Structure 1
């Protein structure tokens, strides 16, 4: 497993780039990223759980997720799917919701799955982060979420 945040994560265009090499087939990894029953198992940083996940997996379709902290705080996010190419690429918008359910700031996420023999390289890229504080917080959060994803993916792959 490797993790990288190119440019130290503080590039002028405020982007997060993370890479993981995962001992699981590409088709499985794509499903774990797009099916609600799997997203519930890994979405969010280490100290959170996904309490609600909805997915309309089609270009233009909406998604909405809620993560719940150990202290009981809810954080809702949502977006729209822009590009879906199973099992190799997924592009979607991402916005944290304010109290009225409106996005605070819309960002874009690209997830690519590249075959590496017995493994798959996941490449995660999130762009258009609003400021350096959000960049730092989300980099840490996505690193943790991807660690959960890798552990879940590898366990699921071993189960067959």
Structure 2
């Protein structure tokens, strides 16, 4: 990859940053439309089998990631459901949402922590610096997700976004 994802942990906050060689409006659009998210969201070997997006404050993004790669052992065939509830949208600069683990009906998991995510898109000479700030109630909640492989999953997801963006520019 030409541009690596920078990762930093500050207490109960995970900060991810990367520059994408695409206009800010296009990068923002990749996060706001189901038809785009279906092409890149999730780590390698996973696909979105369901993706409903109501991109407005108070709107919900409900999705299912399914492991389609038989080389991923016990994960093969596994489904992971998620739900985002949009809090603020300032197109194309930023949006804020609460990210939940959920079930197929959209019920939020009580066992897994919710994440307050702020996605900031900064224009840089035709490229876009994306900063994702994920905040948890407690540092232990963040640590639990890091131990589950969230950092690697995000890196792979953003690699896939970068590859998909190149087909859209």
Report TM bin, short chain. 0.7 to 0.9
Please tell me whether the aligned partners of residues 56 and 86 of structure 2 are also in contact (alpha carbons under 8 angstroms): yes
Query: Could you say what secondary structure the match of 1:72 adopts?
Result: coil
In the other structure, the counterpart of 1:45 is: 43
Gaps spanning 5+ residues in structure 1: where? none
RMSD between aligned residues: 1.7
* 2:143 pairs with 1:132: yes
Structure 1 residue 98: Cα displacement? 5.1
Structure 1 stretches (4+) deviating beyond 4 angstroms? none
In the other structure, the counterpart of 2:97 is: 92
Equivalent residue for 1:74, pick from 57, 72, 79: 79
Equivalent residue for 2:23, pick from 22, 25, 30: 25
Gaps spanning 5+ residues in structure 2: where? 69-75
Rounded to whole Å, the distance in 1 between the matches of 2:15 and 2:113 is 19
In the other structure, the counterpart of 1:116 is: 124
TM norm structure 2: 0.83
Please tell me whether the aligned partners of residues 66 and 79 of structure 2 are also in contact (alpha carbons under 8 angstroms): yes
Structure 1 residue 99: Cα displacement? 7.7
In the other structure, the counterpart of 1:155 is: 167
Rounded to whole Å, the distance in 2 between the matches of 1:115 and 1:99 is 36
Rounded to whole Å, the distance in 2 between the matches of 1:155 and 1:102 is 34
TM norm structure 1: 0.88
- CA shift digits 1:76-130 (9 cap, x unpaired): 0002101101111011010112587332321111111101012111111212172
Aligned residues: 153
Relative to structure 1, the CA distance from residue 74 to residue 23 in structure 2 (aligned partners, 3 Å threshold; closer, same or farther) is: same
Query: Could you say what secondary structure the match of 1:24 adopts?
Result: coil
Query: Could you say what secondary structure the match of 1:151 adopts?
Result: helix
Rounded to whole Å, the distance in 1 between the matches of 2:43 and 2:25 is 24
Structure 1 residue 62: Cα displacement? 1.1
Query: Could you say what secondary structure the match of 2:42 adopts?
Result: coil
In the other structure, the counterpart of 2:71 is: none
